[in-house]
Amino acid sequence: MSMIDATDKKILQVLQENARLSFREVAKKAQVSVVTVMHRVKALQEQRIITSYTILCDEEKLGYDIQAVINLRISKGKLFEVERSIAILPEVFALYDLTGEFDALVIAKFKSRKNLDAFLKRIQRFDFVERTQTSLVLNTIKEKPLALSDDRK
């Protein structure tokens, strides 16, 4: 596991706020030189700390009004096989392994109840899916990248 320092964290925080900034703009906001930003970003990419650059969209404005949280119980020994099949579905926003009563958690987004229904019926037909439990998200209170701390206590 690689260690990052306070300078790396400053650069990452600036990029999390706006990944479209130039290295010069990042340097100004992080209060370091442009060369430092260039080298640090390259190193963070090589270490796979920075894995991609993306945009965040307002999915509701794009018609995805329904978000579901789906717990899955999967037959022993088949977790990764089932997860690989589910992860490639376009509706899936996130997929996690769990401890506890369920084995996996899927977060998926849909344009309609009909789309949600079809999705649930599809994954319930997968071999080795023993049980699902679905909850609908009514409101999103917070959804953003992890805020990097200075690790001061």
* 146 in any annotated domain: no
pLDDT tens readout for residues 32-66: 999 999 999 999 999 999 999 888 888 889 999 99
* 105 in any annotated domain: yes
Same-domain check for residues 28 and 65? no
Question: How far from 66 is each of 71, 113, 137, 139, 152, CA to CA, in Å?
Answer: 16, 7, 7, 10, 39
CATH number at residue 98: 3.30.70.920
Cα end-to-end distance, the chain, whole Å: 22
Same-domain check for residues 91 and 117? yes
* 141 in any annotated domain: no
Q: Strand, helix or coil at 138?
A: coil
* 150 in any annotated domain: no
**Does the global pTM surpass 0.95?**
no
Question: How far from 100 is each of 69, 95, 138, 140, CA to CA, in Å?
Answer: 16, 16, 24, 24
| Sequential pLDDT tens for the chain (153 residues) | 568 899 999 999 999 989 999 999 999 999 999 999 999 999 999 999 999 988 888 888 999 999 999 999 999 889 999 999 999 999 999 999 999 999 999 999 999 999 999 999 999 999 999 999 999 999 989 887 777 765 544
* 96 in any annotated domain: yes
Same-domain check for residues 129 and 65? yes
Strands 129-136 and 92-97: unpaired
Same-domain check for residues 83 and 129? yes
Name the residue among 55, 77, 75, 70 with its Cα closest to residue 123: 70
**DSSP for residue 60:** G
Torsion sign, CA atoms 21, 26, 27, 29: positive
Same-domain check for residues 109 and 73? yes
Task: Give the tokens for residue 134.
Answer: 């679905």
Domain count, the chain: 2
Using an 8 Å Cβ cutoff, are 36 and 24 in contact?
no
For residues 115 and 10, give the distance between their C-alpha atoms in angstroms, rounded to a whole number.
41
Structural domain harbouring 90:
59-136
CATH number at residue 19: 1.10.10.10
* 109 in any annotated domain: yes
Same-domain check for residues 70 and 115? yes
